[in-house]
């Protein structure tokens, strides 16, 4: 049996073998990535020590799923490295480079990319070199042979290539997303990486619990006839909610329409999307201050149209709130830092997307029947700026 409650011959026939194994392999991948960054910390530290005193800002970038990594990490980069950090997608940097790159500015560009072969990936690093006074490049990728990894520049460049199993073969990014997210987090907190070991072990146990305990229940949810899904997350979990949105839409070939919002933002109009065909996934912070706002939003949902089904994802408690499915990660009172918790909190959406894809008769490894979406975006023309 596959760890995701699927028989291997069946998932082969259904075209889900890559996706199922890549989702299931993430907890072990996280341990491997932690060891890799730990072993390479001196070399990474040397590069950061040279670059950080010289840069006025850091830009975390990527396309699609890779862009959402920055949404979860810009806060910890700001707090840990004491350099102003923004998350800006390569798709925005390519079309409006003059809004972000300036000839008086020295920046660090942190590029996340599974393959590094998206046309925007290399276009952005070239634009940064041409338009900025100076650019320090830090590239995190899963493909050592991708265009971004082999790209040549006279600017300072530091390359981190994740283990081979992070380079997903399925269309939807799963292990590559959580792996690059963890890598970026460890870079931001490199000075305390040895002290993070117990939290990485807890992260691993949470991931295993989601896969072993909650995957069968999420599979049952996927059989429910919902037509739209809303993912809610605040702070670093907004990145999780955004990626969750994309993951379910990608894996269901757009048959399920998804939205994502922050808890407070959802009150300002978007809440109107809720109806009797809507599944709502509440991704909770474990910060007591933040959870006050999240709890208020959940209670406010009692007014207006009721959703078809609700899922709550939380670490230790839901403050007396009730959901149709409660995904509680800790029974012992263990506590992860918010940014670390985001890494395992993406698993429920990945599972829901794969199971829903199968229930719709699609092939999760290649769910786009029309070919409208592909593993690497094609036919993007990059124009001279």
Distance CA 349, CA 243 (A): 9
Model pLDDT, residue 303: 84
- Helix intervals (H) in the chain: 8-13, 17-24, 26-39, 41-51, 65-81, 90-95, 119-131, 147-150, 175-188, 197-209, 215-222, 236-251, 263-266, 288-300, 338-345, 347-359
Classify domain 197-359 at the CATH topology level: Rossmann fold (3.40.50)
How far out from the chain centre does Cα 384 lie?
31
- Identify the three-state secondary structure at position 171: coil
* Residues carrying CATH 3.40.50.10490, the chain: 40-192, 197-359
Of the candidates 174, 182, 173, 170, the residue with the CA atom closest to the CA atom of residue 30: 182
Measured CA to CA, the distance from residue 84 to residue 326 in angstroms comes to 37
**pLDDT values of the chain reduced to their tens digit, one per residue, 385 residues:** 355 656 666 677 678 889 999 999 999 999 999 999 999 999 999 999 999 999 999 999 999 999 999 999 999 999 999 999 999 999 999 999 999 999 999 999 999 999 999 899 999 999 999 999 999 999 999 999 999 999 999 999 999 999 999 999 999 999 999 999 999 999 999 999 999 999 999 999 999 999 999 999 999 999 999 999 999 999 999 999 999 999 999 999 999 999 999 999 998 888 888 999 999 999 999 999 999 999 999 999 888 889 999 999 999 988 789 999 999 999 888 899 999 999 999 999 999 999 999 999 999 998 877 666 655 677 788 898 8
pLDDT at 1: 39
Q: What is the pLDDT of residue 269?
A: 84
Strand, helix or coil for residue 368: coil
Cβ contacts of 289 within 8 Å, gap of 6 or more = none
pTM of the model: 0.95
Rounded Cα distance between 342 and 73, Å, is 10
CB within 8 Å of 377: residues ≥ 6 apart: 63, 64, 118, 119, 120
Buried b (16+ CB within 10 A) or exposed e, 64-96: bbbbbbbbbbbbbbeebbebebebbbbbbbbee
End-to-end CA distance of the chain: 53
What is the rounded CA–CA span in Å between residue 147 and residue 253?
28
CA angle 130, 134, 57 (to 5 degrees): 115
The CATH architecture that domain 40-192 belongs to is 3-Layer(aba) Sandwich (3.40)
Residues in the chain: 385
């Amino acid at each position: 049996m596959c760890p995701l409650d699927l028989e291997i011959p069946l998932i082969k026939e259904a075209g889900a073998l890559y996706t199922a194994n890549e989702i299931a392999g993430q907890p072990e991948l996280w341990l491997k990535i932690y060891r890799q960054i730990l072993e390479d910390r001196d070399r990474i530290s040397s590069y950061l020590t040279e670059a950080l005193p010289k840069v006025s800002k850091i830009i975390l970038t990527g396309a699609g799923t890779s862009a959402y990594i920055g949404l979860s990490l810009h806060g910890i980069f700001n707090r840990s490295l004491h350099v102003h950090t923004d998350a800006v997608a390569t798709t925005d940097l390519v079309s409006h480079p003059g809004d972000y790159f300036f000839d008086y500015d020295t920046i660090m560009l942190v590029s996340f990319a599974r393959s590094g072969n998206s046309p925007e990936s290399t276009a952005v690093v070239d634009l940064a070199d041409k338009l900025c006074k100076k650019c320090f490049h830090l590239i995190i990728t899963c493909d050592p042979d991708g265009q971004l990894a082999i790209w040549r520049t006279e600017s300072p460049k530091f390359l981190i290539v994740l283990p081979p199993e992070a380079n997903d073969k399925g269309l939807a990014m799963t292990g590559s997303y959580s792996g690059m997210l963890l890598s970026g987090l460890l870079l931001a907190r490199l000075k305390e990486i040895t002290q993070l070991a117990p939290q990485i072990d807890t992260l691993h146990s949470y991931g295993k619990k989601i896969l072993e305990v909650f995957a069968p229940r999420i599979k049952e949810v996927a059989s429910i006839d919902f037509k739209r899904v809303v993912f809610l997350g605040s702070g670093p979990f907004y990145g999780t909610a955004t990626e969750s949105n994309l993951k379910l839409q990608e894996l269901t070939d757009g048959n399920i329409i998804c939205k994502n919002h922050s808890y407070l933002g959802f009150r300002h109009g978007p809440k109107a999307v809720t109806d009797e065909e809507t599944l709502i996934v509440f991704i909770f912070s474990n910060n007591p201050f933040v959870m006050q706002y999240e709890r208020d939003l959940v209670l406010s949902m009692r007014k207006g149209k009721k959703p078809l089904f609700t899922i709550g994802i939380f670490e230790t408690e839901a403050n007396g709130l009730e959901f149709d499915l409660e995904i509680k990660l800790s029974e012992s009172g263990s506590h992860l830092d918010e940014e670390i918790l985001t890494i395992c909190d993406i698993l429920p959406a990945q599972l829901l997307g794969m199971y829903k894809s199968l229930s719709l008769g699609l092939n999760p490894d290649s769910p786009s029947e029309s070919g409208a979406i592909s593993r690497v975006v094609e036919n993007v023309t990059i124009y001279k700026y």
